[in-house]
Amino acid sequence: RHHTTHHLHLLLPSLAKHFTFQYIYHLLSVLKIMPVNAETQKALMGVVENLGTAKFGLGESETVGVQEIINDNSDNPSYVLLDARSEEERNVSMIAGAITKDDFLVNPDKYKDSTVVCYCTVGYISGACTLELRNQGHSNVKNMGDGALLGYTLHKTSAGVSKPLVKADGSATNDVHTFMDDLAPLAGEGMVGKSFADPPAVLEAANAAIKEKLGV
């Protein structure tokens, strides 16, 4: 599918001359390549870069893209998602089926044959979590790329899923914890953002914990 995807993107300009937008959109959906708002995705990746996520040294082999996660077979998934956020954030919503860091640490052998993918709001906290767990010998742990949870909501809502996350009771929701109000516009269309009362203080505390645990 990688080669098909590459050639399709090259052909899109010529396709547009002969087919309607609706037909092209259908073609993309069949191939599971949904158009995402490029400007929003670009802004989201700018946030990831400005936070300093690169300091965790996680390359392509330690990162899994959002579309790979979405395309994963739900009946026999290759990935186990680990929500690295705080309880307050998780109480708003999570990706269906995700576990917590505590769940993983109670019995890491349970997941040894799976690729465990950490995520947070944009990939910064989860990047630290990924590095921490990998440093403990869990080489099957990776970080979610493409803006992590917010990127996930962008991709899912672009595919027409209006409530891509779940609440604690398992019900679908379009609520998402965006850490701070300023990040809410970077979530998918129709998502309702929630935030911490004092985001700078939360981030400062998180950075202090990261420095203490990882030295970065």
What pLDDT, on the 0 to 100 scale, is given for residue 77?
86
Alpha-carbon gap, residue 90 to 125, rounded angstroms: 14
What pLDDT, on the 0 to 100 scale, is given for residue 25?
42
Give the residue from 122, 188, 121 showing the smallest Cα distance to 160: 188
What pLDDT, on the 0 to 100 scale, is given for residue 166?
98
What pLDDT, on the 0 to 100 scale, is given for residue 17?
46
What pLDDT, on the 0 to 100 scale, is given for residue 11?
47
Mean pLDDT, consecutive 10-residue stretches, the chain (216 aa), reads 42 46 43 66 94 96 96 85 98 97 97 96 98 97 98 95 96 98 96 97 96 95
- Pairing status of strand 63-64 against strand 192-194: unpaired
Is residue 139 within 8 Å of 108, Cβ to Cβ? no
Residue by residue, DSSP assigns 46-63 as HHHHHHTGGGG---GGGE
What pLDDT, on the 0 to 100 scale, is given for residue 35?
57
What pLDDT, on the 0 to 100 scale, is given for residue 73?
74
